[in-house]
């Protein structure tokens, strides 16, 4: 073959190969065009998943072990509870239980289950499943196990009736049941995968890995896929009949910080973001994004621990009250959340039982100085503040503590600031104690008892221990415990009064000093409707629709 002919054949071959390559690559280029958004929206799939950008803090997907904000979203939408919380965040709504009643002294509660309720596999939700789920919740001894504290027995007299008997009156038990962790699990399916509700379930239950990849609830959604540190994917439960589920597939996309969440929202890559701080929210300029600030029940507080080993002076009630008067509450709300937050008087969120009429916290430097003089500390003292180095509910705790440092400097209290990793902070606060710290709290359900059981200076509560109650009798306020018993035994109409009295006692203790209740920024695409903040469940997914 002549050289010229060979070149012609070669170039033909090259041309043919190129054409073939282009033909083969055509779908790839078309896909690239689609992926890059060059194709019109109409050409792309209409029924696309709804994306929620949020920092996933999931520690488990087992309803008896899970404990976090994203976990609330997951559990509440997959494992239906007996009672729900209405849009006003106060009213109890029927869910698995169509009705319920309690005896006069609030020690026995009877629930009547919806006979039409079914799990995602189509099998009926029965009383035995509820009994099993609650017993397992208690016996697993996991994060939410305290929800079943004080429950003496759970009976299932028939397939659709559950009777729970308490060890002592507990008028808040119905409220507790709105917490998603109490949702019903399909016991047959769970048992087949290693779960059990025996007394030794903490040792013998081996089902957690199964729960991380599967679900067995009766809620509006089922678990489609979970990739830790990447995404949590829900699919609509085809057997769910209680309400019409608007979105067939929902993806929670792990997006660590507020700025990235806002950018995803603006770019259209996400539809909802709930962890954007007010300052970042102001940078969102897109016309297609709706931003709503709603009051939350979350709050950030400083805690003063008289029993901490690092104290340089005795933090008596007078000194603690002086610290309380020295703080600039309004300034803190402005400084930390650009005014997008509320003041909170007591360690019980605004709007919860007993909080009506509580005195608004105010700064009074003269009063603070007077109290310090009286305590013999007119020249001030030094105090070390250790706190988790984190941004929570839009509040940067480092910034918050700098404000506290400035405020206390006005009454000659010199605050040393030491930010710590959360796990290290936890070890310190349980160990030698921390003289001054800042942390946060979010509700698990609508009810005030949870706050008293956590913050009150009654024997055994977490903050009583942290404040040094075990070593210093002056810290204990037994009155708060007595009032709580009365509140839990009181009829609905009377319990607020007791909670109000406890709140006043806690304000007077000045161990827990709430600084700000930050608003929740609900940022979402305008085409998305039904996004709301829920006190028990964070974000009810079945109420969301898309235009």
Partner 1 sequence: MYRYIIRRLIAMPLLLLGIVSIAFLLTHFTKGDPLISIIGERQMDNPIVIAAARARWGLDRSLPEQYLIYVGNLLTGDLGTSFQTKQGVAKDLLQRLPATLELVTAAMLVGCLLGVTLGVVAAHYRDRAADHLARLLALIGSSLPVFWSGLILLFVFWYTLRILPSPGRLDTRSTAPPFVTGFYTIDSVVAGNFAVFAESIWHLILPACVLGWAVMGIISRLVRASMLDVLNQDYILAARAKGASEPRVLVNHALRNALIPTLTIVGFSFAYLITGAVLSEKIFSWPGMGSYAVDAARNLDYPAIMGVTIVGGTAFLLTNLVTDIAYAFVDPRIRFR
Using an 8 Å Cβ cutoff, are 437 and 387 in contact?
yes
Please report whether residue 414 would count as binding partner 1 according to CB under 8 A.
no
Near partner 1 by CB under 8 A, which window of 13-21, 191-199, 202-210, 484-492?
A: 202-210
Q: What contacts 13, CB < 8 A, 6 or more positions away?
A: none
| # residues contacting partner 1 (CB under 8 A) | 60
Query: Among 5-13, 249-257, 294-302, 341-349, which window interacts with partner 1 (CB under 8 A)?
Result: 249-257
Residue 324 binding partner 1, by CB under 8 A:
no
Query: Closest CB to partner 1 among 321 and 437?
Result: 437
- Which residue of 118, 191, 212, 313 would you call a contact of partner 1, by CB under 8 A? 212
Q: What is the CA radius of gyration of the chain?
A: 28
The span of 81-89, 108-116, 421-429, 531-539 binding partner 1 (CB under 8 A) equals: 421-429
253 binds partner 1 (CB under 8 A): yes
Q: How far is the CB of 529 from partner 1 (least distance, A)?
A: 19
User: Would you say 73 and 541 are in contact if contact means Cβ atoms under 8 Å apart?
Assistant: yes
Minimum CB distance to partner 1, residue 372 (Å): 31
> Which residue stretch of 96-104, 165-173, 416-424, 508-516 sits at the interface with partner 1 (rule: CB under 8 A)?
416-424
Is 20 near partner 1 (CB under 8 A)? Answer: no
Shorter beta-carbon distance to partner 1: residue 227 or 485: 227
In degrees and rounded to multiples of 5, residue 438 shows phi and psi of -135, 130
Cβ neighbours around 331 below 10 Å, total:
13
Instruction: Give the contacts of 488 (CB within 8 A, at least 6 positions apart).
Output: 106, 168, 169, 170, 171, 172, 449, 495
Tell me, residue by residue from 350 to 369, as one string, x for binding to partner 1 by CB under 8 A and - for no binding. --------------------
Per CB under 8 A, contacts with partner 1 among 115-154 are 141-143, 145-146
- In whole angstroms, how close is the CB of 56 to partner 1 at the nearest point? 10
Tell me the closest approach of the beta carbon of residue 507 to partner 1, in angstroms: 22
Per CB under 8 A, does 31 bind partner 1?
yes
* Residue among 369 and 466 whose Cβ is closer to partner 1: 466
Complex with partner 1: residue 414 or 471, whichever CB lies closer: 471
Give Cα separations from 375 to 321, 368, 405, 507, 510 (angstroms). 11, 11, 20, 19, 15
Quick check: 39 binds partner 1 (CB under 8 A)? no
462 interacts with partner 1 by CB under 8 A? yes
Does 546 help bind partner 1 (rule: CB under 8 A)?
no
Q: Does 542 bind partner 1 (CB under 8 A)?
A: no
**CA contacts within 13 A on the Cβ side of 467:** 31
Smallest distance from partner 1 to CB 286, Å: 11
Q: CB neighbours of 408 closer than 8 A, spacing ≥ 6?
A: 323, 326, 327, 383, 414, 415
Q: Does 300 bind partner 1 (CB under 8 A)?
A: no
Phi, psi for residue 518 in degrees, rounded to 5: -70, 140
Between CA 54 and CA 151 the distance in angstroms is: 35
Beta bridge partners of 194: none
**Site for partner 1 (CB under 8 A): which residue of 155, 167, 230, 492?**
230
Pairwise CA distance, residues 513 & 174, whole Å? 29
Q: Select 12 or 203, whichever has its Cβ closest to partner 1.
A: 203
User: Could you tell me the CA-to-CA distances from 232 to 50, 61, 144, 190, 239 in Å, in that order?
Assistant: 12, 10, 21, 20, 21
Strand partners, 341: 518
Site for partner 1 in 59-78 (CB under 8 A): 59-60, 65, 67-68
Residues 6+ apart with CB under 8 A from 485: 168, 169
263 binds partner 1 (CB under 8 A): yes
Identify which of residues 381 and 454 has a Cβ nearer to partner 1 in the complex. Answer: 454
Buried b / exposed e over 280-315, threshold 16 CB at 10 Å, is: bbeebeeeebbbebebbbbbbbbbbbbbbebbebeb
Residue 418 near partner 1 by CB under 8 A: no
Q: Which residue in the set 430, 471, 485, 526 belongs to the binding site for partner 1 (CB under 8 A)? A: 430
Please report how the helices 397-409 and 317-326 are oriented relative to each other, as an axis angle in degrees rounded to 10: 110
Rounded to whole angstroms, the Cα distance separating 325 from 363 reads 5
42 makes contact with partner 1 (CB under 8 A):
no
Closest CB 106 distance from partner 1, rounded Å: 23
Q: Long-range contacts made by residues 235-241, C-beta under 8 angstroms, separation at least 24?
A: 237/120, 238/120, 239/118, 239/119, 239/120, 239/121, 239/122, 240/120, 240/542, 241/116, 241/118
Does 34 engage in binding with partner 1 (CB under 8 A)? yes
Q: Does 471 bind partner 1 (CB under 8 A)?
A: no
Closest CB to partner 1 among 9 and 26?
A: 26
- Beta strands (DSSP E) in 138-278 are 151-158, 161-166, 221-227, 231-236, 249-254, 272-273
Minimum CB separation from partner 1 for residue 225, in Å? 8
For residues 389 and 421, is the Cβ–Cβ distance under 8 A? yes
**Is 48 one of the binding residues for partner 1 (CB under 8 A)?**
yes
Instruction: Tell which one of 153, 167, 422, 471 touches partner 1 (CB under 8 A).
Output: 422
What is the Cα–Cα distance from 530 to 543, expressed in whole angstroms? Answer: 5
Q: Which residues bind partner 1 (CB under 8 A)?
A: 27-32, 34-37, 48-49, 51, 53, 59-60, 65, 67-68, 141-143, 145-146, 202-203, 208-209, 212, 225, 227-230, 233, 251, 253-256, 260, 263-264, 266-267, 269-270, 421-424, 426-428, 430, 444, 454, 462, 465-466
């Amino acid at each position: 073959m002549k050289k010229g002919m060979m070149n012609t054949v070669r170039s033909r071959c090259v041309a043919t190969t190129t054409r073939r390559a282009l033909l083969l690559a055509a779908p790839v280029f078309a896909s690239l065009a689609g992926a890059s958004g060059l194709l019109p929206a109409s050409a792309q799939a209409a029924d696309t998943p709804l994306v929620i950008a949020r920092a996933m803090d999931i520690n488990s997907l087992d309803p008896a072990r899970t404990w976090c904000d994203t976990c609330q979203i997951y559990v509440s939408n997959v494992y239906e509870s007996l009672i729900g919380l209405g849009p006003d965040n106060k009213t109890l709504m029927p869910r698995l239980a169509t009705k319920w009643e309690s005896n006069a002294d609030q020690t026995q509660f009877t629930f009547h289950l919806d006979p039409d309720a079914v799990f995602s596999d189509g099998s009926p939700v029965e009383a035995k499943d509820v009994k099993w789920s609650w017993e397992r919740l208690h016996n697993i001894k996991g994060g939410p196990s305290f929800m079943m504290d004080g429950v003496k027995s759970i009976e299932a007299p028939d397939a659709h009736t559950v009777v729970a008997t308490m060890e002592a009156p507990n008028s808040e038990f119905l409220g507790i049941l709105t917490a998603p962790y109490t949702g019903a699990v399909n016991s047959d399916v769970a048992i087949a995968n290693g779960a059990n509700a025996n007394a030794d379930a903490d040792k013998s239950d081996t089902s957690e890995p199964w729960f991380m990849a599967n679900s067995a609830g009766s809620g509006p959604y089922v678990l489609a896929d979970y990739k830790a540190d990447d995404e949590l994917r829900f699919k609509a439960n085809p057997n769910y009949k209680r309400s019409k589920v608007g979105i067939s597939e929902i993806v929670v996309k792990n997006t660590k910080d507020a700025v990235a969440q806002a950018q995803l929202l603006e770019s259209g890559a996400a539809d909802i973001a709930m962890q954007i701080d007010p300052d970042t929210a102001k940078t969102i300029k897109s016309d297609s994004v709706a931003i709503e600030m709603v009051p939350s029940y979350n709050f950030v507080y400083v805690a003063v621990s008289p029993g901490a080993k690092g104290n340089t002076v005795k933090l008596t009630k007078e000194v603690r009250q002086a610290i309380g008067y020295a703080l600039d509450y309004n300034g803190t709300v402005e400084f930390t959340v650009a005014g997008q937050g509320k003041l909170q008087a007591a360690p019980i969120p605004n709007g919860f039982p007993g909080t009506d009429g509580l005195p608004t916290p105010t700064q009074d430097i003269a009063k603070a100085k007077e109290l310090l003089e009286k305590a013999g500390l007119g020249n001030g003292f030094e105090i070390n503040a250790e706190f988790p180095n984190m941004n929570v509910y839009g509040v940067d705790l480092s910034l918050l503590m700098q404000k506290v440092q400035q405020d206390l400097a006005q009454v000659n209290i010199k605050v040393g600031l030491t930010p710590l990793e959360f796990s290290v902070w936890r070890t310190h606060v349980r160990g030698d104690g921390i003289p001054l710290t800042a942390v946060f709290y979010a509700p698990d359900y609508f009810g005030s008892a949870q706050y008293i059981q956590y913050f009150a200076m009654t024997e055994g509560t977490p903050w009583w221990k942290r404040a040094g109650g075990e070593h210093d009798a002056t810290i204990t306020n037994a009155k708060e415990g007595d009032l709580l018993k009365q509140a839990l035994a009181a009829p609905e109409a009377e319990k607020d009064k007791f909670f109000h009295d406890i709140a006043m006692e806690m304000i007077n203790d000045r161990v827990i000093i709430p600084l700000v209740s930050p608003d929740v920024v609900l940022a979402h695409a305008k085409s998305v409707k039904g996004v709301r903040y829920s006190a028990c469940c964070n974000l009810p997914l079945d109420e969301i629709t898309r235009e």
